[in-house]
Amino acid sequence: MGSRAPGNQIDSLSTGSSTSYSSVPHKQKMNDKSLAALSLAILLAGNPDVLLAQSTTPNPPVLLAAGDIADCGQGAAKTAKLVESRQGLILALGDLAYPNGSKSDFKRCFTPTWGPFIKRMKAVPGNHEYMTNGAKPFFTILGESAGLAGKGYFSFDFHDWHIVGLNSYTKINQNSPQIQWLKRDLEASSARCILAFVHLPRFSSGDGGDNDDVDAAWRLLHQAGASLMLVGHDHIFERFAPMDAEGKLDKINGMRSFTVGTGGAYLDKKPWWQRSNSEALITSQWGILKLELNAISYKWTFINIDEKVMDSGQMDCRQRTVPH
């Protein structure tokens, strides 16, 4: 199957800067501190690069992520307000329109709430999309935001990061065209920080539990040095510690995953157990995950519809051997 060339650059949707200036009064008796300040100002005036470095503070690129979004209840409208008030590229983690991902479901539930954000969105399909005609309404309505129609997997570069969208509901086993494409894509990327997003979680405390269907993708991403996987499907928020290919704790060289099935559809009850290596489990809360991306690290914040921060932290990206 044909593949998109890795490294399609997406312009920043979240960067900005603020510049501050100071002045020295024209007529004023100078003390030692004033003279020192004036000397520094003269030095900076003669070195504009130094001045810009000290006075300009760029905002980090931002990703906003959630899945399991619109079932025509009140949740999607409330999470849409979180997205509307924030800059950033949106990653939609599947199951965008309930119950069947039909054209009517999108029109009634998704379009009035999250529809206005399609132009700044990248989306992968979920199981509910595939309940209607091979997810054709999903691909038609999302257009370029969902990659090539019928495939549902793609990659692009976003500032210093390489981002991969995967499709849980087309063949994704070890010998599948999708995994062979993923292998080539990862080998071609020189980015230190790699993030993948897909609907099905490899590991989860939720009702759906672990999913062997995406095991080949998890193993390949881990082997390639990816830092993050974002998933949906279970209608909870869950953060896992970094884990190895087998799902065992590996704080030094593991890959972290977030389940963000809190985009607005009905919410799951608290699971009766919490899987090993699950560091945070939040139920009965609609919300979105905000990621601030730096060249070698990231910060995360899970924000509920009351604008309350429910979980946050930061971590360096994994070290990876990149092609030359």
CA distance 169 to 152: 9
DSSP letter (8 states) at residue 112:
T
What is the structure's pLDDT at 24? 31
Distance between CA 37 and CA 31 in Å, rounded?
Answer: 10
CB within 8 A of 52, min separation 6: which ones? none
Q: Which domains does the chain have, with CATH numbers?
A: 29-58 (no CATH), 60-316 (3.60.21.10)
Residues 82-139 have pLDDT tens digits of 999 999 999 999 999 999 999 999 999 999 999 999 999 999 999 999 999 999 999 9
Contacts of 204 (CB under 8 A, 6+ apart): 210, 211, 231, 233, 234, 238, 259, 275
Contact assessment for residue 175 and residue 101, using Cβ atoms and an 8 Å cutoff: no
Residue whose structure tokens are 């999302």: 142
Question: H helices within the chain, ranges in order?
Answer: 32-45, 48-55, 75-84, 103-105, 136-142, 177-188, 215-224
The answer to whether residue 29 scores a pLDDT higher than 70 is no
pTM of the predicted structure, to 2 decimals:
0.83
Q: What is the pLDDT of residues 278-312, one digit of tens each?
A: 999 999 999 999 999 999 999 999 999 999 999 99
